[in-house]
Amino acid sequence: MKRFLLICIVLFGCSSPSTPLNEWMADTSKVRVLSTTPMIGDIVARIGKERIQHTILIQGDLDPHSYELVKGDDEKLSLAEVIFYNGLGLEHGASLRYRLQKHPKAVGVGDWIRKTHPEEILSKNAQVDPHVWMDVSLWAQIVDPIVSTLSEIDPEGAPFYEAHGKLVKEELKQAHRELLLCFDRIPAAQKYLVTSHDAFNYFARRYLNVNNDWETRVRAPEGLAPDGQLSCHDIQKIIDYLCFYHITVVFPESNVSRDSLKKIVSACREKGVRVRISNQTLYADTLGPAEGDADTYLKMIQHNAKVLEKAWRTGE
């Protein structure tokens, strides 16, 4: 795990994925690029570097699932020569979805994965799971459409984008291998994950899988988008799961209310079942604060791995 941390710091530790807005909106000879989420933006920035003028639409702890346009967003969307968005139904806020559909150069990187590797896309209750970035090896696939799109707009920069894209892809693949080694060392009986909403299915399939049983190893009271109504039945299913697998800790997410987890823990205590909410937060739909230990894509993944590894090994 320490080696994986070093890789993240050396390769992904120094980044400025988003240009200050006033600079981004100024006249420029660079390609003006907008990414909808920080997870996409971090990869785009590492490929485009100084040849692009880049900013991110949905920042901080805002929920990308239900994000609606605010003052100033229309101008960003209009000025952008190219927009990279997740797709797969992630950005389903009506105003944003409409503008993405109308933009002449909006590229859905998750939709591209579904087109080229349809067998990799998960669904739950007939709804496509958009959280493809939680599998690092799968997220590495978005390098190709980013490189090809930037090269199309800026042909002179094509060799530049291709070289940096190749480097980024190798970095992601190496980090993926380190994650596999990390979780392979954890006993199978410990690798059961309960979080706030269904954002960790791709993560569980790739890193928690034991004899093709990954679907039994991850649960969440809230669905693929944490904006629905939680029923007593939803809570009871999680309580039954915790009891059946003797799980003692559940994990909050940075931009999701802890109310559902608090209800579950309270109900468990009433039944005499010892369950607690981890004092460490996981990141799923967002990155961490700037200058923190989860402020880039790989640092976010590495943070989650460290939190889970410690909890499952030591119970802390």
What CATH number is given to the structural domain containing 13? Answer: 3.40.50.1980
Alpha carbon of residue 264 to chain centroid: 25
> What is the predicted pLDDT for the residue at 219?
96
The answer to whether the CB of 47 falls within 8 A of the CB of 93 is no
Q: Is residue 99 part of a domain?
A: yes
Alpha carbon of residue 232 to chain centroid: 28
Judge whether residue 217 has pLDDT over 90.
yes
Note whether 23 and 167 are same-domain residues: yes
User: What does the pLDDT look like over 46-88, one tens digit per residue?
Assistant: 999 999 999 999 998 899 999 999 998 999 999 999 999 999 9
Judge whether residue 4 has pLDDT over 50.
no
> What is the predicted pLDDT for the residue at 303?
96
Q: Is residue 103 part of a domain?
A: yes
Judge whether residue 15 has pLDDT over 60.
no
> What is the predicted pLDDT for the residue at 316?
63
Note whether 89 and 31 are same-domain residues: yes
Mean pLDDT of 286-292: 91
Spell 63-75 as b/e; 16+ CB within 10 A means b: bbbebebeeebee
Please count the structural domains in the chain.
Answer: 2
> What is the predicted pLDDT for the residue at 3?
46
Mean pLDDT of 217-242: 86
User: What does the pLDDT look like over 144-201, one tens digit per residue?
Assistant: 999 999 999 999 999 999 999 999 999 999 999 999 999 999 999 999 999 999 999 9
Which domain-ending residue is among 118, 141, 176? 176
Mean pLDDT of 114-121: 97
Note whether 19 and 109 are same-domain residues: yes
Q: Is residue 181 part of a domain?
A: no
Q: Tokens 């090896």 correspond to what residue?
A: 137
> What is the predicted pLDDT for the residue at 231?
79
The phi, psi pair for 279, rounded to 5°, reads: -80, 0
Judge whether residue 1 has pLDDT over 60.
no
Q: Tokens 């992630």 correspond to what residue?
A: 90
Q: Is residue 122 part of a domain?
A: yes
Which of the four pLDDT bands, split at 50, 70 and 90, describes residue 234?
confident
User: Which residue, 226, 231, 203, 204, is CA-closest to 216?
Assistant: 204
The answer to whether the CB of 191 falls within 8 A of the CB of 210 is yes
Average pLDDT of the residues of the chain: 90
> What is the predicted pLDDT for the residue at 20?
62
Domain that holds residue 157: 2-176
Judge whether residue 226 has pLDDT over 80.
no
Judge whether residue 266 has pLDDT over 50.
yes
DSSP-derived secondary structure letter, 208? I
Which of the four pLDDT bands, split at 50, 70 and 90, describes residue 27?
low
Q: How many CB atoms lie within 10 A of CB 98?
A: 11
Residue 85, beta-bridge partner list: 108
Diameter of the chain measured on Cα atoms = 66
